[in-house]
Structure 1
């Protein structure tokens, strides 16, 4: 009965030295040349373990969201006093056109233009907040405005701590006001 015994180094050779016999033609002993072979499998295993470890322990970037409270569905028309309203019209080329009050057939508001820079829209909102606390900002988007303009306007509402603001559709009187001012 024979027993087969295996040693660990026989099963998984990690590195082995392969001696090569010296060729002595003239009978003089020469130095042995030793060949070296490195098994890369353990290093690859270690690389995959490290990769798996870092993938599982990292935290992915969390999306930043802004809470937007919408009115109850049964409230269809909420009147805003003209004295407390600030209307923003998001236009082309990252411009914001604004006027104080609401635009109806009887009023002819003066239209002003600014940008989304800190000294632009933010300053307008802060000045309005100081002059008229509790004002309501009506945000209207024209066809030439892009999505980033709306996001920037909502960010400014959050930065300036506006309590009441609403997204409103651009109506015929607003289009006429823009056309009258050459915009």
Structure 2
């Protein structure tokens, strides 16, 4: 509400010498009602806004297939196995683990992206065309993949993810995010073996 200050003013309209001029009217805006309205609006939106509900990510694990015919065949040259341990540590090896564990290496989440990218580039560089590639390209084109012509080049690239008992859910989600970021089309979470777990415990800092 605006208050009109008329103090000191002359309500007359006299003119001539010796007659003082009337002071100009001044206005003062009272902001109190606006402040009250602001708090009312804040309170209104607090009570009418729906609080965001926690969301969860569904994770479908592969079946434990016993029939060899139902198992997915993976080329050793295109396989990258990533193992998750405690303290945000990551371990990996290419192809099959060697008996002496010489190809078992450790890294961090900061470096794992480059490892995935380098392995993917290696597999794509060694790509050999096959009659089934056209089906892969057609599916990629129908799905709207702008790079559908190269969709078959990484068909042999597979990432196997193996968290052990000390790995956190955060690390598992982070490594799944890396699959999306690096456009890894074939990956799976499987159980870690006893020998792999022993290598992790032998390698991790005490």
Mapping 1:32-181, distance limit 5 Å: 49-55=40-46, 77-103=71-97, 108=101, 110-117=103-110, 120-132=111-123, 133-134=154-155, 135-179=157-201, 181=203
If the length of structure 1 is used for normalisation, what is the TM-score? 0.59
Checking the alignment, whether the CA contact within 8 Å between 1:99 and 1:109 is kept in structure 2 is: no
SS in 2 for 1:161: coil
Deviation at 1:181, TM superposition (A): 4.4
More helix by share: 2
If the length of structure 2 is used for normalisation, what is the TM-score? 0.53
More strand by share: 1
The whole-number CA distance in structure 2 between the counterparts of 1:122 and 1:74 is: 29
Aligned residues: 139
| RMSD across aligned positions (CA) | 3.6
Checking the alignment, whether the CA contact within 8 Å between 2:61 and 2:189 is kept in structure 1 is: no
Which digits, 9 at most, give the CA deviation of each residue in 1:51-96, with x for residues without a partner? Answer: 354236757557677676665x596632322221100110122110
Checking the alignment, whether the CA contact within 8 Å between 1:87 and 1:139 is kept in structure 2 is: yes
Higher relative contact order (CA 8 A, sep 6+): 2
The whole-number CA distance in structure 2 between the counterparts of 1:152 and 1:172 is: 24
Structure 1: where are the runs of 5+ without partners? Answer: 1-41
SS in 1 for 2:121: helix
**Which deviates further from its counterpart, 129-138 or 169-178?**
169-178
SS in 2 for 1:122: helix
Checking the alignment, whether the CA contact within 8 Å between 2:85 and 2:200 is kept in structure 1 is: no
Distance 1:63 1:102, change over 3 A: farther
Query: Which consecutive aligned stretches of 4+ in structure 1 deviate over 4 angstroms post-superposition?
Result: 45-49, 56-71, 73-76, 106-109, 179-183
